[in-house]
A and B are shown apart, each in its own frame.
Chain A
């Protein structure tokens, strides 16, 4: 429970009553007290009998934020710094794309930089929602609204009610229970029936053609990377060997674990024509390493790569091979490590990679 709470309210130029399109380029301004829908929001908070006050309103032109987001966000954060809000409410943006974008970018940045809850609302098709799901920000919540501003009263009430919950430190339940739009964060929940019963129930629903809700939806095709251009002249190309097989020099000098590692390494293959059994072994805990321990070239094909190099099939091998963890490493680490390795390869002038995976 809290004695009092300070709220800052963010609006765009239109809802702040400053003007329409012609004012979309104005920078961030701050005004003490209530502006635009502010009084309604304040009243909604007062319904809960708590001492919650909108201490200031920040407004900014949609285009200003859209065209120089980083700068605009930094400026807003600076305006808020001295205010020390307990909660920041942004919007509702309804179907307005630029406003939705602004609310989401600001909400994300403010919640992270000031460690404050941020609350916004917009229509389900607003492009801001896509950002929201991408950010997966535990301190940022968005409620669904109508497309047009006809839903203003309802949106403000929902945000006020939820804001009070956040301020009270109450545990927040899943999206479908609390009414906010899901953030693609999977959290724990106790169902009414155990998994076995739910599986049979779900199967019956499918067989009978009744509605059902899958508990894990298929992934949207996200982040595909366009193929990198082919190597123009392979005979002069520098090729690097990269592997997730867990192959390391005997003794495991960098102490890779059997799984869930978060770092990568390079080991020298400079004068080597092959990887000799006993000098290398695999630390990967999730496949049968018997074969690669007997012949490491099954995992890092150095013997043949060296032959091809000597036969002039390609320019040269890098002096080291790269080992990146393969077993159960967390995706966020995998992406970071991939980016680090990529940067390293680029710096070395590597033209192509032969990547082995077990």
Chain B
């Protein structure tokens, strides 16, 4: 689906925990999320830390949107917060 949006020339930053799956389906700018049921946050963390995680993710998304790429790329960063979930 993100592919169809890119096809009309609008860059898409796709936030997902399963970057391999997104790449397999042709996504170009992939932002590594936390986990399938909460890609944009960390429910185990304090409200403050959770917000920090989300800010990191959106920051990565904006970075991805401004980066010229020729082939698919995963944008990831250590969230710096303990995550119990696997």
Contact = CB atoms under 8 A, between A and B. Distances in A.
Interface of A: 223-231, 234, 237, 239, 242, 244-245, 287-292, 294-295, 297-301, 303-305, 307-308, 313-314, 324, 334-335, 337-339, 341-343, 345-346, 350-358
A89 to B, nearest CB: 37
A290 B69 CA distance: 36
Given A354-B13, A357-B16, 16 more contacts: A225-B6, A230-B65, A234-B66, A244-B1, A291-B38, A291-B43, A295-B41, A297-B54, A298-B37, A304-B54, A313-B62, A338-B1, A338-B2, A341-B4, A345-B8, A352-B10
Given A304-B54, A346-B10, A234 B5 contact: no
A353 B10 contact: yes
A229 B1 contact: no
Q: How large is the interface on B (under 10, 10 to 19, 20 to 34, 35 or more residues)?
A: 35 or more
A354 B61 contact: yes
B29 A227 contact: yes
Contacts of A295: 38, 41, 43, 50
Contacts of A301: 15, 40-41, 54, 57-58
Contacts of B55: 304, 307-308
A340 B59 CA distance: 28
B68 interface: yes
B86 interface: no
Contacts of A355: 1-2, 5, 12-15
